[in-house]
Amino acid sequence: MKIHLGSGKKYKEGYVNVDIEESVKADVYHDLNSYPYPFEENSAKEIIACHVIEHLDDQSTFLKELHRILKPGGVAIIECPIGGTWSSYHVNHKNNLTPYSFKILEPKSKWAFQFPFHFKIKRMSVFMPIVYDKVHFPWRFIYVNCFVNNVFTKMKAELVKV
């Protein structure tokens, strides 16, 4: 099973599309701030959540829920604005994230003891507004934002359940 959380107007064939808004086409209508999600443990091989995590009340619980639903070796693909950039300050955003928000979930992270679940990072990229989705830059390119803010405004993390 493959799940598309917060599908909105981007219904994906071959996925279980989940959204709270009943005016859009979805397979399951569910509030993503309400846990647990209506999926069995270890039931999905892939979960996509594009521009979802920054809108939720509790990022850690969300990530823990993705870990619960994914099969071992399953992949969560999370796309969101990079914290501190113009795109992260949308009025509906509750949280800011950076690549390090996901790096701390790795088993060998010095913060791993804080989490009862872990992910291995398969790939992490940052994106420039002009070439969104066309060019994936390595996540460490975010350091350019320290000198010229808003060069990179979006990131994507592909996390593997360990």
**Residue 136's pLDDT is what?**
87
Which residues of the chain are modeled with pLDDT < 50?
A: none
Range of the domain at 59: 2-161
CA distance 14 to 17: 9
Pull the structure tokens for residue 45: 């091989």
Provide the domain count of the chain.
1
Q: What is the pLDDT of residue 146?
A: 79
Residue-level pLDDT at 130: 78
Alpha-carbon span 77 to 156, nearest angstrom: 7
How confident is the model at residue 145, as a pLDDT? 80
β 2-5/44-50 pair status: parallel
CATH number for the domain that contains residue 26: 3.40.50.150
Average pLDDT taken over every residue of the chain:
94
Torsion 143-139-151-100 (CA) sign: negative
